[in-house]
Amino acid sequence: MNQASLRIVVVGAGFGGLEFTRALGGAPVRITMIDKRNHHLFQPLLYQVATTALATSEIAWPVRHLLRKRKDVTTLLANVVGIDRAGKKVLLDDGSAVAYDTLLLATGARHAYFGHDEWESFAPGLKTLEDATTVRRRILLAFEQAERETDPAKRQALLTIAIVGGGPTGVELAGTIVELAHDTLHGEFRNIDTRQTRVVLIEAGDRILANFAPKLSDYAGKALERLGVTIELGRAVTRCDAEGVVFGDKQLAAKTILWAAGVAASPAAEWLGAAADRAGRVLVEPDLSVPGSPEIFVIGDAAHVLRPDGRPVPGVAPAAKQQGRHVATTLKARLAGDTVARPFRYRHDGDLATIGKRAAVIDFGWIKLTGWAAWWLWGIAHIYFLIGFRNRLAVSLSWLWIYATGQRSARLITQGDDDKG
C-alpha cells in the first residue's frame, strides 16, 4: 500500500486523540477525526464551570479551530455506533460509514452507577459541558427555591447538597460549593442564610483521596471540615431519589445530589466485540493494540493496560496523552518498515487536588505538598496545560478575582425546565 494513502480514523477529540493527531504531524497519512461534540474539553476544570467559577468557553475549544492548520486532517461531527472490523469501517448513526486502514479509539468514559442507572436523573455526574451546566443550574435553583420555601424541613433539604464519591472530583466539588454558599452568595438572599448550607461528602472507603498518600488524605479531610464540609466515610450509597440519599443506615434529605463515585468506559469494547474488564475497558495488548487487530488501538479511559507493578494505568489526562504519543510513534515506525511491537510504559507525573481557593494537596511521590503553596502550584500547572493565551489569561484573572473577593461571575441559570433541580 502507498504510504501516502494510509487512512487513519481517530474517534474522540479528547486529550489522547488530539495528542496522537499532533504527534503525527508531517507523516504521510490522512487523518479523519470523529467526535459527537464540536469541542475539545479540558475536563480537570469542569467542576469549576459547575460551581460558577469559570465560563464554558474558558475550558473548551472548537476542534476545527484547533486543527485548522492541519490540511491532512478532516474533522467530522458525527456519532459512532459501531465498528466493522472485517470491513475496516467506522459505522455512524446516520447509516453511513468511514473506512480506515488504522483506527484509534480514544472515546473516554461515562458515569457508572453500579447497576443503578435509575439514579442518574437524581444524581448527575460531571463528564461534559452539558453535565456542568446542568449541575450549575441545579445548585443555583436550590437556593432560589429555598428562598421561597416556608417549611423549615423542606428548606433545609434544599440547602443540603450531597456529593457521592471522595476522589479528586468529589473533594474539589465539595470545597468549591461550600465556598460558593458561605462566601459568594452570602447577603444576596433575604429569607435564607446561605451559610446554613450543608455540604455532605459521602465516600464508601475508609478515607477520601484514596490514591494519595494517607497523610495527604488526612490533610484534605481536615481542610474540608474547616471549610464546613461534613465527611461520611465507610458507608456505600444504597439509594438516590427525589427525597435524598441513603448510605449505610443513614438517610439524608437532600434536594441536590452530585455523582463523583464511579466511571465506566465508552462502548468501545461493545463496538469491537473485544474482551473488557469490569469497567468496560478494552483489554489491549502491551502496545495498546486490540488482540487480533494490530491496526486498531484503544487509549485513555477506554483501555485497560497495566503498569509494570501490575496496577492499571489511571484514567487521567497525562496518561491519555502519553498513550496517544506512543501510538503515533508506533505508526511512524511501521511507516518506516519497523513492525516490532513496543510496549507502552506509563510515567506517573503525580496526583493533584484542590480544596477550595486557598489549599490543595500534591503528591509527586518524591515530594508531597499541602496548603497555600500547593494551591498555587496546582493553579500554575492547570493554566499551563490550557490551550491558547486568551484562555490562560481569562482563567488566571477569574481565579485572582475569586481569590481576592470571593465573587464568582458565571452564576447564570440556563437551559430549560428541570423538575429535578
Residue 199's beta-bridge partner residues? Answer: 161, 229
| Gap between the Cα atoms of 42 and 320, Å rounded | 13
Q: Please spell the DSSP secondary structure of 81-132, one letter per residue.
A: EEEETTTTEEEETTS-EEE-SEEEE---EEE--TT-GGGTTTS---SSHHHH
Q: Annotated active-site positions, please?
A: 172
Helices (H), 253-388: 268-272, 317-335, 371-385
Residue 314 neighbours by CB distance under 10 Å? 15
Question: Residue 269 in contact with residue 280, Cβ under 8 Å?
Answer: yes
Question: Residue 244 in contact with residue 156, Cβ under 8 Å?
Answer: no
CA atoms within 13 Å, Cβ hemisphere of 170? 33
Nearest residue to 59 via CA among 390, 407, 319:
390
Cell of 229: 464540609
